[in-house]
C-alpha cells in the first residue's frame, strides 16, 4: 500500500489496496493513514454493498441516517447519494460534517460513486478543521474554547423534504449541543466543530454576537489553504473523518447524473 499525500494539510490517495478484502494488518495501516491525512481516496474499487458495509464495520457499528430512506432494499445502513435532472437540491452541497445534529455524530463516512457526470464536475471538497483551528489567533482560540453550539437536523432535512414534496411534519429530527472546538479522541488535536448546514446558534452569547462569530467561522473554514478537492472516477471511494473534516459536494453538473452509495460509522459524543 502506497500513500500519496494530495496536500501537506489534508488528503491522500492510497494505491495498491483492495478495500473489499482488507485484513487486520492492512486495516491498521488504513486507519493510521486516515488519522494522519483525515481523508483518503481510493481508485477502481469493485466492492459490493455487503463488502462496503463490512469495510465500515471494521471501524465500528454502522449509522442509520435519521432522514433518508434505505439506500438499497434491506440495507438501512446504506445512504444513496444521487442527483439527476429531476433533483431540486443535492445532499451535501454546503460545508458540513455528516449528521452533526446527532448527540453522537458519525465519526466516519465511506462514499463510493458508480456514476459520474459525462462532462466532468461533481468534485467533492474537503477542509481540515485542524488546520482551520490552528490558523485562528490565540485570542480567538481562547474565546471559543469553552463555547458550545446547537446543531439541529430539522431545518436542513425539512427543507430538502419540502422540495421533493415529502411530508415530514410528524418527524422529529436529532438536535444536540456540541463544543465549538472539539478534541479528536484519537489524535488529541483540536478542530472547529460548527458548520453551516446543521449549526443554528452559539449558546450563552447574545444572538447577534453568535451570528457574527458563526459567519466568521464559516468563511474561515472555507479558505482554500485548508482544503483538498477530489475528482471522482467510476468506482472511486472517499473515506473521511467527520471529527476533523468538513466537506461539500459541488453541484455543477445539472442536469447530468451523479450517483453512489455511502456507509457511515457511528461516533462518540464530542468533547472539548
Query: Residue 12 interacts with ligand SIN (CB under 6 A)?
Result: no
CB of 83 to ligand SIN, least distance (A): 8
Residues 106-125 that bind ligand SIN (CB under 6 A): 109, 111, 124
Which lies closer to ligand SIN via its Cβ, residue 45 or residue 141? 45
Query: Using an 8 Å Cβ cutoff, are 174 and 101 in contact?
Result: yes
Q: Which cell numbers in the block locate residue 174?
A: 436529532
For residues 243 and 245, give the distance between their C-alpha atoms in angstroms, rounded to a whole number: 6
52 annotated active-site: no
247 annotated active-site: yes
151 annotated active-site: no
Query: Using an 8 Å Cβ cutoff, are 59 and 52 in contact?
Result: no
For residues 200 and 155, give the distance between their C-alpha atoms in angstroms, rounded to a whole number: 9
For residues 48 and 20, give the distance between their C-alpha atoms in angstroms, rounded to a whole number: 8
98 annotated active-site: yes
Exactly one of 98, 184, 258, 266 is catalytic; name it. 98
Residue 81: CB partners within 8 Å, gap ≥ 6?
Answer: 91, 92, 111, 113, 249, 258, 259, 260, 261, 262
Q: Site for ligand SIN (CB under 6 A): which residue of 71, 92, 117, 270?
A: 92
Exactly one of 37, 258, 262, 266 is catalytic; name it. 262
Question: Per-residue string for binding with ligand SIN, 50-89, x by CB under 6 A?
Answer: -------------------------------x--------
Site residues, ligand SIN (CB under 6 A): 81, 91-92, 98, 109, 111, 124, 249, 262
Q: Which residues are catalytic?
A: 96, 98, 247, 262
Amino acid at each position: 500500500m502506497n500513500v500519496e499525500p494530495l496536500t501537506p494539510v489534508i488528503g491522500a490517495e492510497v494505491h495498491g489496496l483492495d478495500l473489499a478484502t482488507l485484513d487486520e494488518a492492512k486495516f491498521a495501516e488504513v486507519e493510521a493513514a486516515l488519522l494522519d491525512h483525515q481523508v483518503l481516496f481510493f481508485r477502481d474499487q469493485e466492492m459490493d454493498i455487503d463488502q462496503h458495509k463490512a469495510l465500515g464495520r471494521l471501524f465500528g457499528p454502522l449509522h442509520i441516517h435519521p432522514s433518508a430512506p434505505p439506500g438499497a432494499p434491506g440495507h438501512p445502513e446504506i445512504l444513496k447519494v444521487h442527483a439527476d435532472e429531476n433533483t431540486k437540491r443535492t445532499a451535501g452541497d454546503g460545508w458540513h460534517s455528516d449528521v452533526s445534529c446527532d448527540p453522537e455524530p458519525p465519526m466516519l463516512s465511506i462514499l463510493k460513486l458508480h456514476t459520474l457526470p459525462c462532462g466532468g464536475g461533481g468534485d467533492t471538497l474537503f477542509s481540515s478543521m485542524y488546520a482551520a483551528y490552528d490558523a485562528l489567533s490565540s485570542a480567538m482560540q481562547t474565546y471559543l474554547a469553552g463555547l458550545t453550539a446547537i446543531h439541529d437536523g430539522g431545518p436542513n432535512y425539512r427543507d430538502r423534504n419540502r422540495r421533493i414534496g415529502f411530508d415530514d411534519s410528524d418527524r422529529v429530527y436529532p438536535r444536540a449541543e456540541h463544543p465549538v472546538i472539539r478534541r479528536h479522541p484519537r489524535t488529541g488535536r483540536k478542530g472547529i466543530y460548527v458548520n453551516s448546514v446543521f449549526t443554528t446558534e452559539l449558546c450563552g452569547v447574545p444572538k447577534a454576537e453568535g451570528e457574527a462569530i458563526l459567519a466568521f467561522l464559516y468563511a474561515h473554514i472555507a479558505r482554500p489553504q485548508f482544503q483538498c478537492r477530489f475528482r471522482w472516477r467510476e468506482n472511486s471511494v472517499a473515506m473521511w473523518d467527520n471529527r476533523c473534516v468538513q466537506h461539500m459536494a459541488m453541484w455543477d453538473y445539472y442536469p447530468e447524473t451523479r450517483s453512489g452509495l455511502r456507509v457511515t460509522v457511528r461516533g462518540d459524543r464530542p468533547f472539548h
